[in-house]
Amino acid sequence: MSELAYSIAFYIFAAITVAAAFGVVTKSNLVHSALLMALCFIGVSGLYVLLQADFLAAVQILIYNGAIAIVFVLGTMLTRRSLRHGTNDTEANIPSKIVTLVSGLFVVVTLGVIATTTWHYSSKVIVEDTPSLLAQLILTDYMVVMEVGAVLLLAAMIGAIVLAKGVEE
Amino acid sequence: MIGLTHFLTVAAMVFGIGLYGVLSKRTIVGILMSIELMLNAVNINLIAFSRFVTPEVLTGQIFAIFTITVAAAEVAVGMAMIFRVYYDRNTVHAARLDEMHW
């Protein structure tokens, strides 16, 4: 019974994710695209919950929905100029059939590789208390990487301010 | 029974959709959004492998955290560049940004 519930939840979240992602690239209004992207991120965080990565599911909602999707909506509204065309149309100069063919071929090849590879599942016990173990790992084994990440975020913040405001101001 | 392949399939589909968006979108905002979709697909893969192949260590989840960090930094700098380009040239269409000089 719980396995059935797990399967149903997986298919619902997978459908939300893929359908919203499809909407992001097909909608002709950029604001709709940004909101659908937020929906796609919610579906992905549901998949994280099913993968027992509860901390990452929370991080996904906080960062992707709370920050990135909002920044995209803001950016869309600040750079919208004319309403003659849709704001998120596909490029007319690019042969869209070739692009569709290339990305479709990529997906087909990847699915073929996934289906034919024999995956080695581990039978070890799953870690239950992920946040505390993650915190332990980040502050011991991956300490240097975390510090580099902090410096990267600081550099990105300063760079974004300088780029958006201009050096002379 | 939902296994590793199901999650990998979803991730591959999202990545393919993102690839289509990157190659075909007209505005740089749309291209940046599609890159975000591709990064999310990669994160699904990382966490699925962490859950099914090495469930006793959390290396995949840690890697996903750093991917999210880099994605956040990328969006911040990318949006700032988009604002700058819009301020300077009054357009965000990728096809019109073809001069690589001032």
Give the model's pLDDT for residue A47. Answer: 94
* Token pair 């799953």 in the structure block, residue: A126
In the DSSP assignment, the letter for residue B101 is -
Q: Do A142 and B62 touch (CB under 8 A)?
A: yes
Domains and CATH numbers, chain B: 4-96 (1.10.287.3510)
Q: How many CA atoms lie within 13 A of A81 on its CB side?
A: 9
Nearest CA-CA distance, residue A93 and chain B, Å: 8
DSSP secondary structure, A50-70, as one string: HTT-HHHHHHIIIIIIIIIHH
Cα distances (Å, whole numbers) of residue B84 to A74, A157, A165: 14, 15, 8
The string of pLDDT tens digits covering residues A138-150 is 999 999 999 999 9
Rg of the Cα trace of chain A?
21
The answer to whether the CB of A21 falls within 8 A of the CB of B37 is: yes
What 3-state DSSP class applies to A90?
strand
Indicate which of A52, A56, A90 best probes the interface with B, i.e. most B CBs within 10 Å of its own CB. A56
The string of pLDDT tens digits covering residues A71-118 is 888 888 887 765 555 666 666 666 778 888 888 999 999 999 988 988
Which of the two residues, A129 and B21, has the higher pLDDT score?
B21
List all residues of chain A from 60 to 99 with a beta carbon under 8 Å from chain B. Answer: 60, 63-64, 67-68, 71-72, 75-76, 78-79, 81, 87-94, 96, 99
Indicate which of A28, A42, A68, A99 best probes the interface with B, i.e. most B CBs within 10 Å of its own CB. A68
> For A91-123, b where at least 16 C-beta lie within 10 A, e where not — what string?
beeeeeeebeeebeeebeebbeebeeeeeeeee
Per cent of chain A over pLDDT 90 is 47
Q: Which residues of chain B lie closer than 8 angstroms to A37, CB-CB?
A: 33, 36-37
List all residues of chain B from 68 to 87 with a beta carbon under 8 Å from chain A. Answer: 68-77, 79-84, 86
ipTM: 0.89
